[in-house]
Structure 1
């Protein structure tokens, strides 16, 4: 099963960050995800399950479709 998220993706989370932004950039993938707030630059490490439940939609994807 291919990964749905890639480095550099911009995702919108369900909950708003205290700075007011909902957009986060994925900067590490694996069992844990590290994401960086687009608004203020704050970084957070989340378990994969919590990250996948918290994502509302992918705004910009860096995945290349392979056919």
Structure 2
């Protein structure tokens, strides 16, 4: 799955669905657990899309294969 997301951005809700977790759970992971790291990838709490670099980071942190 990590290779599929390498060059494309996607909505947070699409990403949550793709990895099989509720959107609310993904939001908690991003906005509470990993907020400092996500900010290094220019993440904003109000953004709707995740960039490829943000997706790659989440794939590694959430152990998505």
Shorter-chain TM-score range: under 0.3
**Which structure ranks higher in relative contact order (CA pairs < 8 Å, sequence separation ≥ 6)?**
2
Compare CA radii of gyration and give the structure with the larger one: 1
Q: Which has the higher helix share?
A: 2
Q: Which has the higher strand share?
A: 1
